[in-house]
Amino acid sequence: GAVVSQHPSWVICKSGTSVKIECRSLDFQATTMFWYRQFPKQSLMLMATSNEGSKATYEQGVEKDKFLINHASLTLSTLTVTSAHPEDSSFYICSAPPAGEIYEQYFGPGTRLTVT
Amino acid sequence: AQTVTQSQPEMSVQEAETVTLSCTYDTSESNYYLFWYKQPPSRQMILVIRQEAYKQQNATENRFSVNFQKAAKSFSLKISDSQLGDTAMYFCAFMKHGTSGSRLTFGEGTQLTVNP
């Protein structure tokens, strides 16, 4: 099956700094990518939909100025957590449906963010 | 808006036995897809099985099968001959039928433990 990678897999940053997480589709193109947040023992909560070449669509309650999303190419989307605080510590997962596929989606392995 | 409900936060089963995980959903859509995903301790999301709503026949994948009751909006997962490697969090998910890149709506998850 298709592969989605995320980098880094684990990052620790200090409160007030920014951190960037990359999501790459390695062997297919994706015009759309999804960013989820998952707290321990909880479900995946959709944060935003990343659209190649246009602005991301954010879910209600997600601060677009805090979670900056850029989908600059058909294989790369980035999520930047700006001015991170300890409450932003979480597991961030991206998924990507191959362009033209109706229901297939491939998930990245996730990024664990710890803000100290 | 769609909602997905998993009423069993935790379940356990003995190795080699059969277990059924429950899922109900609510939607006004007539055409959609339903999924079961597995998230083992590595936290990588893995597709277990998919069901197209327009198909009456229940999907099966080796030891995994579903009981899809469209009128009741129920979509349970049966795991036969449970194996230790089946220990994971299982998420039921809904996707509207549409163009490429439709979002997934997840249930709360069921933590399944397979005991030796």
Task: Taking residues B28-41, report their average pLDDT.
Answer: 94
Task: Taking residues B92-104, report their average pLDDT.
Answer: 84
Phi, psi (rounded to 5 degrees) for A93: -125, 140
Distance from CA of A97 to the nearest CA of B (A): 6
User: Is pLDDT above 90 for A104?
Assistant: no
Task: Taking residues A49-61, report their average pLDDT.
Answer: 92
Average pLDDT, chain B: 95
Per DSSP, the three-state class of A88 is helix
> Shortest CB distance from A43 goes to which of B100, B102, B106?
B106
Structure tokens at A36: 């989820």
Confidence of residue A96 (pLDDT cuts 50, 70, 90): very high
Structure tokens at B71: 């009128």
DSSP-assigned letters across all residues of B50-101: EEETT--SPPEETTEEEEEETTTTEEEEEE-S--GGG-EEEEEEEEES-SSS
Distance from CA of B75 to the nearest CA of A (A): 17
Task: Taking residues B77-85, report their average pLDDT.
Answer: 98
Is the CB of A109 less than 8 angstroms away from the CB of B99?
A: no
Question: Quick one: pLDDT at residue B101?
Answer: 67
DSSP letter at A52? T
Is B55's Cβ below 8 Å from some Cβ in A?
A: no
Question: Quick one: pLDDT at residue B99?
Answer: 64
Do B28 and B38 touch, CB atoms closer than 8 A?
A: no
Taking only the tens place, the pLDDT of each residue in A6-43 is: 999 999 999 999 999 999 999 999 999 999 999 998 99
User: Is pLDDT above 70 for B35?
Assistant: yes
